[in-house]
Chain A
């Protein structure tokens, strides 16, 4: 099934009656995802674009047997929505919402883990298994089914690289946009591990950026893998101390630089593309 998500997965959308939720529920359905309904508190019993709307995640799960949820609710309510989903038995949660307070994520992530729920995000484009299903906001037309997995901290840069792969004839298994925040539900090492164990994935592309040490840790993990891993790191020209758009993309006290990440990757035998366009070439190279 590639990783985490396939065409069998029953997905709900929390915040389905909002502008974003409605638009992307439709796009997810068009992609092939089994979107079995949505949740908006206070709007249970209604319908939107053919999706049944439930007043709570519990009601949605009871009625549809959904096991996955995509969260589009505004940031102040994201933690509440996530806990509600976890308590209702949701096992895969993509939190698309940006600007979720970091202390909410500090509370949420260990809790989700203890309950056996995998969270992707927040502040992420979601997850897509090419030709099968997607949760989130990645554009539908980019993907081509294949055997390369992709892990990225970014949104549009991911699309750029998926596009390069598809143009070069390199198909994808699953693309996971892990999110650009400091505290995220699934980090690079964990995502690499999923791909390492996936029989449908032969190689992995890591799209990193400055800030933190996720890439350095991913490099150490890649060294233990038999599957080929190649990387791209954004932010080589970013000045220290400046937050480059993502909450997590900041070089602090000399830590988290692109050079450090590139060095770690190269030391682990992971080749690093200078240009997004080079990624397919590196995948093909010996």
Chain B
């Protein structure tokens, strides 16, 4: 669950990290209350907001109104700007980078900091980057900050503030079940204060049951992806025209890959997961058809999920809502013969191997 900048900053503030005073601009009326110069920022989850014109400095209500109207109409990284956040413009002397992420290989939180921030982390020079793993059972020990201080070479009055902010960011990272807390830039102001210029916070989806305040944040999902999420179906829309449905994340990815090798392009990633409920299959299939594929490619390896369970659900879905979209089904494993019979009777195209199924799906799609 990614948080928008203003939501991320609200969480930072909860943990005592200084953030600029800001307000979410929802209607033209609230623009008159701004203190100028101000900065208006598009609230979208994708990066590159500045380049796309989503961040503008304004000096009057009239300028703010014009900027607000311009930003609200923008599409950045494929997503329409629905919200604009206004802040007092910061008088920045230096931009620092600070983040906590999870290092899979080390199985530990990773602290990263650099005295030159403000640009995307991958563009920052590696030589200037301080990185350190934090033992989860111990937290950030003082020696880590001593090491960070000597690496970053910041003046004492700045480093004291940076360290206090880092300690609070780590507390947030752990207590809020965050996968990422990134403050970039962490701004050193001309008056000497250090404040969070931006905030990227991602909360672990698996922990939302104990972080209910972050539930329901708008994600960068399509309407169908949102519907799938509400129904508990693992579903993504891709840019091809062949609807792919399989069971298991790895197998669904492999099905898309084989389709790609055979000259097709998947339009959906639909992972049925392990289910023994035909109703869930029926719902998933309806969702798949809503994505308007030209052909459906189904690949089921039955183990926990019985092949005939899936076949029943699919047949039910096709009876509810007859479709002319051809369905190619490769179905293997427990109760395979029965499943194939059901699917053939329902007018689907059975295939024995994944390659065969992918080739057939590409053929049935016809020329694009």
Contact = CB atoms under 8 A, between A and B. Distances in A.
A166 to B, nearest CB: 12
Contacts of B108: 106, 110
Interface residue range, chain B: 35 or more
Nearest to B264: A237
B254 A276 contact: yes
Contacts of A182: 102, 104, 179
A242 interface: yes
B121 A245 contact: no
Interface stretch (B24-32, B204-212, B280-288, B311-319): B204-212
A76 interface: yes
Contacts, number: 166
Contacts of A103: 136, 174, 177, 204, 207
B204 A101 contact: yes
Interface residues of A, number: 59
A75 B253 contact: no
A272 to B, nearest CB: 12
Greatest chain B CB density within 10 A among A110, A210, A232 is at: A110
Given A180-B250, A213-B105, A277-B355, A245 B261 contact: no
Interface in B226-256: 234, 236, 238-239, 246-254, 256
Given A156-B301, A157-B251, A235-B253, A109 B107 contact: yes
Interface in B110-128: 120-122
A276 B206 CA distance: 30
Contacts of B206: 75, 99-102, 247
A34 interface: no
Interface string A23-35: 0000000000000
Contacts of B205: 99, 247
Interface string B261-285: 1000110010100100000000000
Contact of B250 (A137, A214, A234): A234
B334 A245 contact: no
Contacts of A6: none
A110 B250 contact: no
B103 to A, nearest CB: 9
B210 A156 contact: no
B260 interface: yes
Greatest chain B CB density within 10 A among A138, A242, A276 is at: A276
A214 B271 CA distance: 23
A248 interface: yes
Contact of A101 (B104, B210, B253): B210
B48 interface: no
A158 B107 contact: no
B102 A183 contact: yes
A106 B247 CA distance: 28
Contacts of B301: 156-157, 159-160, 163
B177 A102 contact: yes
B54 interface: no
B355 A217 contact: no
A257 to B, nearest CB: 13
Interface string A232-254: 10111111001011111100011
B52 to A, nearest CB: 16
A83 interface: no
B304 A245 contact: no
Greatest chain B CB density within 10 A among A138, A155, A235, A247 is at: A155
Greatest chain B CB density within 10 A among A163, A236, A237 is at: A237
A185 B232 CA distance: 27
Contacts of A180: 249-250
Contacts of A258: 257
Contacts of A235: 253, 257
Contact of A102 (B204, B238, B249, B274): B204
Contact of A275 (B122, B234, B258, B333): B258
Contacts of A131: none
A249 B236 CA distance: 13
A147 interface: no
Nearest to B261: A274
A160 B248 CA distance: 11
